[in-house]
Amino acid sequence: MKYGIDVSYAQEDFDFNQAVSNGKSFAVVKIGEHDYMDDLFAQHINGALNAGMDVGVYFVSRGKDADSIKQEAQFMADLIKQNISAELKCGIWLDIEECYYDQKLTVQQLTDLVSAFIIVMNQNGFDCGIYA
């Protein structure tokens, strides 16, 4: 079994070397949310890679309908294309907790939003999983 971490702007001075010393082998780094890139994304992805960790990224959606979540998906795909040259061995993830809790969506509404997001990611050449 492998153990890892997720990090975002909330972990400003995160010590990736210490995480590796504590048995963590991968990091899933927040790349952004809705329409902005996480302020510490570059610092975190580089810190994880420099510590020898495998990396993946996650994106927090606040999409309210098919159009807004498709825009978010394209934004995430563009962020990945423009900012990541390393292999994402730990995947690309969509965090939908905010959509679900903020909007009190039905299962079908949430499924429709997630499907729309994944289709856009696939069209950009990326597989994407659900991170919640």
- SS3 track for 53-117: CEEEEEEECCCCCHHHHHHHHHHHHHHHHHHCCCCCCCCEEEECHHHHHHHCCCHHHHHHHHHHH
Q: pLDDT for 15-50, tens place per residue?
A: 999 999 999 999 999 999 999 999 999 999 999 999
Q: pLDDT for 45-87, tens place per residue?
A: 999 999 999 999 999 999 889 999 999 999 999 999 999 999 9
Classify residue 104 by burial, with Cβ atoms within 10 Å: 0-12, 13-18, 19+. exposed
Is residue 113's pLDDT more than 80? yes
Are 113 and 105 within 8 A, CB to CB?
yes
Is residue 100's pLDDT more than 70? no
Are 121 and 73 within 8 A, CB to CB?
yes
Helix (H, G, I), strand (E, B) or coil at 125: coil
pLDDT given at position 102:
62
Question: Rg of the chain over CA atoms, in angstroms?
Answer: 15
Q: Give the global pTM.
A: 0.92
Give the domain ranges of the chain. 3-131
Spell out the CATH class of 3-131: alpha beta
Q: How far apart are CA 115 and CA 70, in angstroms?
A: 10
Is residue 94's pLDDT more than 70? yes
Instruction: Give residue for tokens 């995480």.
Output: 19
Q: How far apart are CA 127 and CA 48, in angstroms?
A: 22
